[in-house]
Each structure stands twice: as structure tokens, then as C-alpha cells.
């Protein structure tokens, strides 16, 4: 394995890039040689240089950046995925060497996009790495390691329940269903689908060992469909949820089958953009035969109380907790959020895979399967029925399916109060 740092090139200048940079400060074996974005990322480039992460050179285009990097990390908006990978592949075909390509979740807004990305990458034999941070969380690794001998004796978990909730996204495109790919199910449901599947999987088995059998889901527009909050979205982001709404709540159950034992197990998921408590909360619990586990990221070893007078001195409450909604009272503080959520470890996994030629924990084919489950959840909600993933006709339908919400037709499936 080479000791030469992997030269990252980053595409995207938004929230996830800033968060990933916080993680990369704690990771060995990488340097950030370039960054490019639709809007010139001056602040991010300065951060890279200030913290000794690399040159952080700003390039005006992907094509200009690629000759100076070993791996490209796609952290840009969902609606730019296909165009971005097309540009990368075309540049590689012109003779620019590239070792690997990373894509932040989701791989695509639908299965057609996800398959297109895989076809493009495979056309130039690029190693693909899918970034889903929650599978890399130290708490997830710890529970799997700690329970391994128990699972060997008593069997793998039979039920997991995962949730991710916060008060809503930072940027307008996240709220715009045709650009983002939907609402909270597309945005955060992919996390819960992945971590639920993974924690049900017996130790030592591939991440896709358990085979999806069925998906049943319900989606709703609750808080952000109310007139008062629709106006907030209109005023802040220019998004009109009275005309093109997306869901702010989704819940459902995925059933999996163990192909060796034929046992069926279930993973329940819940996601929302309505959690107005301290900030982002990830929660997971699981049940097996005579054992259980539970995780909640708002349980912190550090708490801070801030009174009314002192609250006026806070400048950036999100330095304490992502998506924080409060500047006073009793606040949960996570001293190292990037590590807590698995961002450090997913970069370490990527670097190891690139340097050694080994397979990463997750590749784009896995990302495609998460898109498939997401599409099945939307289809289930639209039809009000369980989607049978063992039915060939249903699987064929999902290949070209575009959810009504993603099409901008959310009014057909979501209740919107008058006013």
C-alpha cells in the first residue's frame, strides 16, 4: 500500500462539502488538490488551505480539475449527478487518468439515473464508491462487533427500527421535489433504509446478503403543508408548496429474506423534516432472540445550558449540533459530529480501497439497490398497497418509475390544507 496521499478533487460547494471537510481534517492519507462548484467556493477553498488539507485550488470546470487529482468526490446537488458523471467519463476517455469516483447519497433520483451512472463509470473501468455515512458510524460497528458472538448463538436480529429527523434542509433545491427527487423520503429515507438493512445482516455476510421481499410505506405533508409554514418556505426559498409540494414525513417497513435459512426479518423506518427539538436526531434500535440494542445521537456526554441573556452572544449554534433549532436552554452538544455520524470512517474506507485495490464497503451497485427500495416506498404510498419485490413485473415497472412527487405532481397524492 502506497504512503502517497490520495489527491481528492471535490465537486460541490454546499453544506455536505463543508461537513465532509470537517471529517477530512481527521483522516490520514488524503490531500484536497481541487474543488469546483456552480458557485465559486472561495470560503471552502480558504478552509482547506487554513487547515492544511491541501492546495484547495478552485477550478472553473470539472474537466480542468481532473488532471490534478486521483479521485473525484461528487458532493453536488442531486439534479446534477448525471451531467457531472458524463463530464468525468468523457474527460477520462480523452486520456486523463482517474483511480476512483465517489458519489454521496443518493446515487440517483430514480433507477434510470442510478443505472446511467453505473453504465458510465463501468465504460471506463472506474472504481466506484458510494458514500452512506451511517453504515460507517462507530456505534453501528460497535453493536455489530459486540453482538457477533451472540448472533452466532442466537441468530441475527429479526427487527430493526431506524429514524432520522430534523427541522428541514438548508437549501432551496432540497425543498424542490423535481430537483431533489422528492421530499424527506428521498433526502433521508435512503439513510434509514441502508442502516436498517445493514444491522439486520449477519456478521461476515455481504451488505446485500438479505434479499428485499416487500416494501410498505406511507408518506404525508404535515407541518410544511400548513399555510403559515408554506409562507415561510415561499419567503425564504421561493418554493410554493401549495402548487408543487413534497412530503415532510415518511414511514414504512421493508421485509427481507435470508437466502440460506429462508427466515424473514423486518426493518421499520421513519423520517421527517418536522423535528423541532435540539437538532438532527438519528435513532436506531434492534431486537433479536434474548437481546436488543438502542442508539440515539442526541444522548451526548456534553450538555450546555444557555440562559436568555447569554443567548444573544451566540453566533453559530450549528457548531454545537447539525440542524440545531435553539440558541438557549439545555442544549445537547456533540463535540465531534463528523466522527459520530461516520463521515471520518467512510473516507478512511475509501482511501484504503483506492490504495489497496480492495472493494469498499459500499459501491454504486449497492447505491442502486437503495434507490430501488426508495422507489418502492414511493410506489407503495401512491397505491396504498404493499409492493412485492419478488414479482418480476413489479421490478420491471420500478426500472422506469418516476414518483408523482418527483414529477412535481405532489398535489395528487398529498393533502394540502386550504388557506
pLDDT tens sequence across 118-152: 999 999 999 999 999 999 999 999 999 999 999 99
Structure confidence at residue 305 (pLDDT): 73
Q: Say which residues have a Cβ less than 8 Å from residue 76's Cβ, sequence separation at least 6.
A: 11, 12, 14, 37, 38, 84
Cα–Cα distance for residue pair 3/18, rounded to 1 Å: 26
Residues 101 and 165 both lie in one domain: no
Q: How many structural domains compose the chain?
A: 2
DSSP codes of every residue in 161-181: EEEEE-S--SSHHHH-HHHHS
- In the predicted structure, residue 319 carries a pLDDT above the cut 70: no
Residues 114 and 147 both lie in one domain: no
Is residue 43 in a domain? yes
Is residue 148 in a domain? yes
Residues 96 and 156 both lie in one domain: no
- In the predicted structure, residue 200 carries a pLDDT above the cut 90: yes
Name the band, by pLDDT with cuts 50, 70 and 90, for residue 298: confident
Q: What is the mean pLDDT of residues 385-395?
A: 98
Structure confidence at residue 144 (pLDDT): 95
Residues 85 and 124 both lie in one domain: yes
Structure confidence at residue 333 (pLDDT): 76
Residues 258 and 114 both lie in one domain: no
Cα–Cα distance for residue pair 49/62, rounded to 1 Å: 20
- In the predicted structure, residue 236 carries a pLDDT above the cut 60: yes
| Domain that includes residue 354, residue range | 6-134+344-362
**CATH assignment at residue 293:** 3.30.360.10
- In the predicted structure, residue 108 carries a pLDDT above the cut 60: yes
Q: What is the mean pLDDT of residues 228-256?
A: 97
Residues 142 and 281 both lie in one domain: yes
Bridge partner residues of 303 (DSSP): 332
Helix (H, G, I), strand (E, B) or coil at 29: coil
Residues 240 and 251 both lie in one domain: yes
Name the band, by pLDDT with cuts 50, 70 and 90, for residue 336: confident
Distance (Å) of CA 392 to CA 108, 396, 397:
22, 6, 9
Share of the chain above pLDDT 90, in %: 87
Structure confidence at residue 320 (pLDDT): 54
Name the band, by pLDDT with cuts 50, 70 and 90, for residue 275: very high
Residues 330 and 356 both lie in one domain: no
Residues 180 and 67 both lie in one domain: no
pLDDT tens figures, 257-273: 999 999 999 999 999 99
Residues 162 and 54 both lie in one domain: no
Query: Sheet harboring 264-272: ordered strands across?
Result: 291-296, 281-288, 159-165, 264-272, 249-257, 211-220, 387-388
Q: What is the mean pLDDT of residues 148-167?
A: 95
Name the band, by pLDDT with cuts 50, 70 and 90, for residue 311: low
Is residue 417 in a domain? no
pLDDT tens figures, 46-102: 999 999 999 999 999 999 999 999 999 999 999 999 999 999 999 999 999 999 999
Structure confidence at residue 278 (pLDDT): 74
**CATH assignment at residue 41:** 3.40.50.720
Cα–Cα distance for residue pair 387/374, rounded to 1 Å: 11
Residues 240 and 387 both lie in one domain: yes
Residues 246 and 274 both lie in one domain: yes
Average pLDDT, the chain: 94
Name the band, by pLDDT with cuts 50, 70 and 90, for residue 326: low
Is residue 281 in a domain? yes
Q: What is the mean pLDDT of residues 275-295?
A: 92
Is residue 356 in a domain? yes
> Model's pTM, two decimal places?
0.94
pLDDT tens figures, 4-52: 899 999 999 999 999 999 999 999 999 999 999 999 999 999 999 999 9
- In the predicted structure, residue 2 carries a pLDDT above the cut 80: no
- In the predicted structure, residue 313 carries a pLDDT above the cut 60: no
Structure confidence at residue 46 (pLDDT): 98
Is residue 182 in a domain? yes
Structure confidence at residue 325 (pLDDT): 59
Structure confidence at residue 318 (pLDDT): 60
Is residue 82 in a domain? yes
Share of the chain above pLDDT 70, in %: 94
Is residue 418 in a domain? no
Amino acid at each position: 500500500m502506497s504512503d502517497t496521499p490520495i489527491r481528492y478533487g471535490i465537486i460541490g460547494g454546499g453544506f455536505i462539502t463543508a461537513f465532509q471537510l470537517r471529517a477530512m481534517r481527521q483522516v490520514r492519507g488524503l490531500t484536497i488538490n481541487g474543488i469546483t462548484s456552480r458557485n465559486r467556493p472561495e470560503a471552502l477553498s480558504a478552509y482547506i488551505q487554513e487547515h492544511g488539507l491541501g492546495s484547495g485550488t478552485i477550478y472553473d470546470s470539472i474537466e480542468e480539475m481532473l488532471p490534478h487529482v486521483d479521485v473525484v468526490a461528487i458532493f453536488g446537488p442531486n439534479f446534477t449527478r448525471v451531467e457531472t458523471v458524463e463530464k468525468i467519463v468523457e474527460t477520462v476517455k480523452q486520456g486523463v487518468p482517474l483511480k476512483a469516483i465517489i458519489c454521496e447519497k443518493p446515487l440517483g433520483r430514480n433507477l434510470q439515473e442510478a443505472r446511467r451512472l453505473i453504465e458510465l463509470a463501468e465504460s471506463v473501468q472506474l472504481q466506484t464508491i458510494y458514500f452512506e455515512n451511517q453504515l460507517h458510524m462507530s456505534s453501528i460497528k460497535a453493536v455489530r462487533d459486540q453482538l457477533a458472538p451472540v448472533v452466532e448463538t442466537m441468530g441475527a436480529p429479526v427487527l430493526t427500527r431506524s429514524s432520522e429527523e430534523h427541522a428541514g434542509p438548508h437549501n432551496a433545491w432540497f425543498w424542490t421535489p423535481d430537483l431533489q427527487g422528492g421530499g424527506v423520503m428521498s433526502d433521508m429515507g435512503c439513510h434509514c433504509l441502508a442502516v436498517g438493512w445493514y444491522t439486520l445482516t449477519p456478521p461476515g455476510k455481504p451488505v446485500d446478503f438479505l434479499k428485499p421481499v416487500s416494501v410498505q410505506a406511507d408518506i404525508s405533508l404535515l407541518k410544511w403543508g400548513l399555510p403559515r409554514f408554506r409562507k415561510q418556505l415561499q419567503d425564504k426559498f421561493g418554493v410554493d408548496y401549495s402548487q408543487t409540494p413534497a412530503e415532510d414525513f415518511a414511514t414504512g417497513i421493508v421485509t427481507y429474506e435470508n437466502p440460506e435459512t429462508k427466515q424473514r426479518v423486518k426493518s421499520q423506518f421513519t423520517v421527517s423534516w418536522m423535528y423541532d427539538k435540539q437538532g438532527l436526531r438519528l435513532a436506531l434500535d434492534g431486537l433479536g432472540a434474548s437481546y436488543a440494542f438502542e442508539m440515539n445521537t442526541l444522548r451526548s456526554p456534553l450538555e450546555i445550558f444557555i440562559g436568555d441573556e447569554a443567548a444573544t452572544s451566540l453566533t453559530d449554534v450549528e457548531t454545537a449540533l447539525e440542524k440545531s433549532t435553539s440558541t438557549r436552554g439545555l442544549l445537547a452538544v456533540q463535540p465531534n459530529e463528523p466522527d459520530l455520524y461516520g463521515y471520518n470512517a467512510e473516507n478512511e474506507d475509501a482511501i484504503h480501497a483506492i490504495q489497496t485495490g480492495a472493494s469498499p464497503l459500499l459501491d454504486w451497485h449497492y447505491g442502486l439497490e437503495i434507490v430501488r427500495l426508495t422507489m418502492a416506498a414511493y410506489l407503495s404510498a401512491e397505491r396504498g398497497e404493499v409492493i412485492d419485490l419478488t414479482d418480476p413485473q413489479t421490478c420491471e415497472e420500478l426500472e422506469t418509475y418516476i414518483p408523482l412527487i418527483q414529477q412535481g405532481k405532489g398535489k395528487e397524492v398529498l393533502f394540502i390544507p386550504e388557506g
